[in-house]
Each structure stands twice: as structure tokens, then as C-alpha cells.
């Protein structure tokens, strides 16, 4: 058998490709294992040796090995090296515990979940990590009246299966609201679902199957990364710039045959909070049109704009039917309503209905009917007006706190809506390494590594202003700033001037 080192060195690295070099290295090793050229127990080359032979940084090889280890392809032993794990299939042992029978994709999903930050469930820490709306915003009494009216009008018919497309009146309401944003569709193009989370899964399954690759922004919504793992799909990261995803990188990615689609959050991006310009959106659609690849547009916070001028969604600019749009009420109303929508045109609608029918037999008709009435009555727009005013005040309080407290060299975004601000800490700080100190100081945030497809270290972190009031936001920023300054004092480094993105 040829030595693992010689086989590894036969790989072709493309430094101008959309896929990072470490991902290319991991791909090559993964293919060698899948083809049976490397077997259980084979030792991979030491990181330093392989880095020198390939002419890359040691960190590049280290990231490749970490990715493979996270997938269970290899395992590292301190002082001994990194070895190929057993890939052979075997018959289940009737006496084995149930967890031994889990599917490989589920095992990878468990590894992914273990990489999430763990937050205390009680205590006095200021919650700048959560995207859940503040319960004080919930219009409980107004929605209760809508539920009562829905039952008075719909009666027992609301307690049956609703069918995969969902409540007809709510589909008309959603279509009508989308038409005001330039998305010219009717209720036949709307498929209701259990929030945008189910919508993501449904939309991905329209265009990609196990083993396929999906282009995603980096950083991106961490739950979409988990969904990709659960469906057996592979993410291809598209770097995020100050104005949105890198369109040159996107063009290169979508030209690759194994890449089936692009998932994007152009409005109030999670985790960055930015919104792309009209020009950027038109150029993105031009890339999709040239390559013939569909785009999933996640519009989960589209109703929460409190500053700036609205920009038409991609779905409103799309003339070729390539965009599938996701809509949610979880952030603009409350999560418990569990109502979202997938919006498409043409044959994808029929496909959505087939996929959804294979997943469930319909949504919760009482909630869908109540939501339709709530919106038609004008209560939803009155609720939004109150929320937008409060959110703008909270955003301003958080930004004021950051200006006053963060160390020189810190950068952050200035969102025009939604709940989140993205922070880039000065070098050499790592937001994951600061997490425990910040929690001990009484402030919680979402560290940036969990928004990267491979969980690699990040200077970025997400702060939210969804649950904390103005004074707590200023205090939370002060606590975070102090933790960052203390860590910098213990590891001084050259830093650039503060920049507000």
C-alpha cells in the first residue's frame, strides 16, 4: 500500500477557489478514506510535515484535521498523532445500547451541537446572546381575542388536518403583504410551515440531496448549519464583506456542479445585522441567473425595519423564478405562534407540497386562522409600530455603550432593523476564549465560532438587543468592554483605530 503521506501529497490545491485550502485538504483525505485507500489505523502525516510539503501554514492543516475529526473520519491521540477511524459497516449488536445505532449524520449533528456555547439558565447576567423577542413585547390579550374570534367563526373545522399548504385566509394575507414589497404572487405560491426553521429544511430538500453541497454565507445562522448536517449536505462558505457576501466567490462556487443552491439572509443578516444594497441584490441575482442555481432568501426579520429605506427583497427583484423566500412571525410576533411560510413560483410549489406532505399532515389551523384575523384587524401593524420604536431605542443604547466601552481596534455594525449587532474584537482576541470571563462578569453573548461552518476560532461575536432594556444594554457593553481590555492588557498587540462598519 502506498504511504498515506505520498497519497496526500498528490492532491491539487487551488488557492483561488471558493473552497478554503484546509477544506480542500480535508476533502482529499475524506475521499481517500471513502475509497478504501486509507483504512482504520493508518496514521496521517504530522501537521508540521504536511504543511511544509504542501507549502501551507500549519494552521491550515490543523483546521483540515479538526474538520475530519469533527466528522468522525479521524481521531487524534496526544503524543501519538492522528489516525483514520474505522469506516467499516457492521451488523448491529442486539445487546448494544440504543445510542450505538444512531445514523452517521445524527452523530455529526451531535458533534455540532456540542460546539454550541452553553449559557446559564438562571442568574443575573445580562442576556445579549438571545434572538428571542422580549416577552414584554407579546400582545397577549389582543392575540387571545383573535383566537376566540377564529374559533367562533371556524368552529370544529379548525380542529381537523389542515392540508400541507395551510389555512387559505392566512396564505392570502401573507401574499397580500408580500405584494407591497414587490413580490408579485398570489396565495397559491404560499406554503405555510412551522416557522422559518421548518421552511429552511423544506426549501433545501427541494434542490439538494445527501452528499450535495450548499453555498452559505460565512458567518451565517448556526441553525442552518445544523440543518445541513442533519440532511447530509455539505456547506461551502462564501465570505461575508461589509456590503454582503463576496459575489466573485459566489460566482465561482455556483459554477461548481456539486453546488446546488445558495442560502442567504440579505435583510438584517444573522449574525451580522447588515442589509445588502439594491445594487448588490441585483448583482447577486445576475450570478444566480448565469449559473442557473436557485437562491433561498431567508426573510425572517423583514417586518422589523426601524431605520433607513426599505430595499426590495430578492424575491421581488427575481424575474426567473430562482428565488425561494422564507417568511416567519417568530421574531416579529412571538415564537409560540410557530407559523412561517415558504414562497415559490411554478413547479417548486408542487414539489414543496409533496415534500411537506411527506413531513407532516398540516399546520395548526387554530393558530393560522387566529394570525390571519390578527393581521387583518390591524393589530399586527400596531404591534409592529410599538416594537420598531422600542427596538430603535435599544439599538441606540447598545451602540452608545459600545462607543463608550470597547477597546481601540473594535469594529461593529449598525443595523437598520432586527435584533443583532456584529462585533469584531481587536487582535489577538478570540471571542470563544473571552466567553467564560464575560459570563463571570455578568454579560452573555454569542461567540463567532458557532456561526462558522467548521467552528474555527473567530474574533467576531453577536450581541442582541431583543431582551435587555436600555440601561442593561449600556451596562452589558461596559462589562464586555472591560473584559476585552483586561484580556488585551495581559496579551498586548498592535491594534488599529476603532472603525464603525
- List the domain boundaries for the chain: 4-90, 115-137+382-500, 140-377
- For 268, residues 6+ apart whose C-beta sits below 8 A from its C-beta are 274, 275, 301, 302, 304, 305, 415, 416, 417, 418, 419, 420
Confidence of residue 80 (pLDDT cuts 50, 70, 90): confident
Q: Name the grid cell of 53.
A: 510539503
| Rounded Cα–Cα distance for residues 285 and 323 (Å) | 9
Please tell me the class of the 4-90 domain: mainly alpha
Model confidence pTM above 0.75 = yes
| Rounded Cα–Cα distance for residues 364 and 160 (Å) | 9
Please tell me the class of the 115-137+382-500 domain: alpha beta
Strands 234-241 and 244-245: antiparallel
- Predicted confidence at residue 96, as pLDDT, reads 53
* Euclidean distance between the first and the last CA atom of the chain, given in angstroms as a whole number: 54
Residue 340 backbone phi and psi in degrees, to 5: -140, -175
CB 217 within 8 A of CB 452: no
Percent of the chain surpassing pLDDT 90: 69
| Rounded Cα–Cα distance for residues 66 and 450 (Å) | 15
Query: Residues 413, 416, 421, 424: what is their CA dihedral angle, to the nearest 10 degrees?
Result: -10
CB 452 within 8 A of CB 218: yes
Select from 400, 449, 421, 424 the least CA-distant residue to 499.
Answer: 424
Q: What are 460's strand-pairing partners? A: 424
Please tell me the class of the 140-377 domain: alpha beta
Confidence of residue 87 (pLDDT cuts 50, 70, 90): low
| Rounded Cα–Cα distance for residues 261 and 350 (Å) | 19
- Helix/strand/coil for 142: helix
> What average pLDDT score do residues 335-351 get?
94
- Asked, colleague to colleague, whether 4-90 and 140-377 share their fold, the answer is no
* 484-493 pLDDT per residue, tens: 999 999 875 4
The residue to which cell 461575536 is assigned: 461
When the pLDDT of each residue in the chain is averaged and rounded to a whole number, the result is 89
User: Hey, CA dihedral for 207, 209, 214, 219, is it positive or negative?
Assistant: positive
pLDDT value at 169 more than 50: yes
Q: What share of the chain is helix, strand, coil (3-state, %, to 5)?
A: 45, 15, 40
Q: What are 200's strand-pairing partners? A: none
Amino acid at each position: 500500500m502506498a504511504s498515506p503521506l505520498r497519497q496526500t501529497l498528490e492532491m491539487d490545491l487551488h488557492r483561488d477557489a471558493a473552497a478554503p485550502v484546509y477544506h480542500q485538504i480535508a476533502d482529499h483525505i475524506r475521499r481517500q478514506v471513502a475509497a478504501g485507500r486509507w483504512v482504520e489505523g493508518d496514521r496521517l502525516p504530522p501537521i508540521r510535515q504536511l504543511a511544509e510539503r504542501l507549502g501551507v501554514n500549519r494552521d491550515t492543516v490543523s483546521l483540515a484535521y479538526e474538520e475530519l475529526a469533527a466528522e468522525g473520519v479521524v481521531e487524534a491521540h496526544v503524543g501519538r498523532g492522528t489516525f483514520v477511524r474505522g469506516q467499516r459497516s457492521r451488523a448491529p449488536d442486539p445487546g448494544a445500547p440504543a445510542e450505538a445505532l444512531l445514523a452517521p449524520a445524527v452523530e455529526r449533528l451531535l458533534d455540532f451541537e456540542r460546539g454550541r456555547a452553553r449559557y446559564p439558565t438562571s442568574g443575573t447576567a445580562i442576556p445579549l446572546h438571545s434572538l428571542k423577542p422580549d416577552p414584554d413585547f407579546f400582545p397577549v390579550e389582543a392575540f387571545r381575542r383573535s383566537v376566540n374570534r377564529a374559533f367562533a367563526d371556524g368552529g370544529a373545522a379548525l380542529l381537523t388536518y389542515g392540508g400541507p399548504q395551510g389555512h387559505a385566509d392566512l396564505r392570502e394575507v401573507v401574499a397580500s403583504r408580500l405584494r407591497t414589497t414587490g413580490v408579485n404572487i398570489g396565495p397559491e405560491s404560499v406554503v405555510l410551515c412551522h416557522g422559518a426553521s421548518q421552511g429552511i429544511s423544506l426549501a433545501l430538500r427541494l434542490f439538494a440531496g445527501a452528499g450535495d453541497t450548499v453555498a452559505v454565507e460565512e458567518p451565517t445562522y448556526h441553525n442552518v448549519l445544523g440543518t445541513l448536517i442533519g440532511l447530509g449536505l455539505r456547506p461551502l462558505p462564501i465570505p461575508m464583506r461589509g456590503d454582503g457576501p463576496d459575489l466573485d466567490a459566489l460566482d465561482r462556487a455556483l459554477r461548481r456542479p456539486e453546488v446546488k443552491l445558495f442560502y442567504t439572509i440579505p435583510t438584517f443578516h444573522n449574525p451580522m445585522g447588515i442589509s445588502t444594497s439594491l445594487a448588490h441584490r441585483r448583482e447577486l441575482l445576475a450570478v444566480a441567473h448565469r449559473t442557473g442555481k436557485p437562491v433561498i432568501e431567508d426573510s425572517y426579520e423583514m417586518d422589523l425595519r426601524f431605520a433607513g429605506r426599505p430595499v426590495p427583497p430578492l424575491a421581488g427583484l427575481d424575474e426567473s423564478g430562482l428565488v425561494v423566500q422564507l417568511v416567519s412571525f417568530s421574531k416579529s410576533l412571538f415564537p409560540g405562534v410557530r407559523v412561517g411560510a415558504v414562497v415559490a413560483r411554478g413547479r417548486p410549489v408542487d414539489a414543496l407540497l409533496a415534500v411537506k406532505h411527506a413531513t407532516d399532515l398540516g399546520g395548526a389551523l387554530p393558530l393560522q386562522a387566529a394570525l390571519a384575523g390578527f393581521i387583518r384587524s390591524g393589530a399586527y401593524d400596531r404591534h409592529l409600530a410599538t416594537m420598531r420604536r422600542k427596538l430603535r431605542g435599544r439599538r441606540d443604547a447598545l451602540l452608545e455603550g459600545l462607543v463608550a466601552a470597547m477597546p481601540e481596534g473594535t469594529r461593529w455594525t449598525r443595523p437598520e432593523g432586527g435584533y443583532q449587532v456584529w462585533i469584531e474584537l481587536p487582535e489577538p482576541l478570540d471571542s470563544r476564549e473571552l466567553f467564560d470571563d464575560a459570563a463571570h462578569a455578568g454579560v452573555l453573548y454569542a461567540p463567532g465560532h458557532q456561526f462558522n461552518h467548521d467552528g474555527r476560532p473567530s474574533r467576531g461575536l453577536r450581541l442582541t438587543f431583543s431582551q435587555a432594556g436600555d440601561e442593561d444594554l449600556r451596562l452589558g457593553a461596559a462589562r464586555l468592554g472591560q473584559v476585552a481590555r483586561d484580556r488585551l492588557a495581559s496579551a498586548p498587540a498592535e491594534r488599529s483605530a476603532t472603525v464603525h462598519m
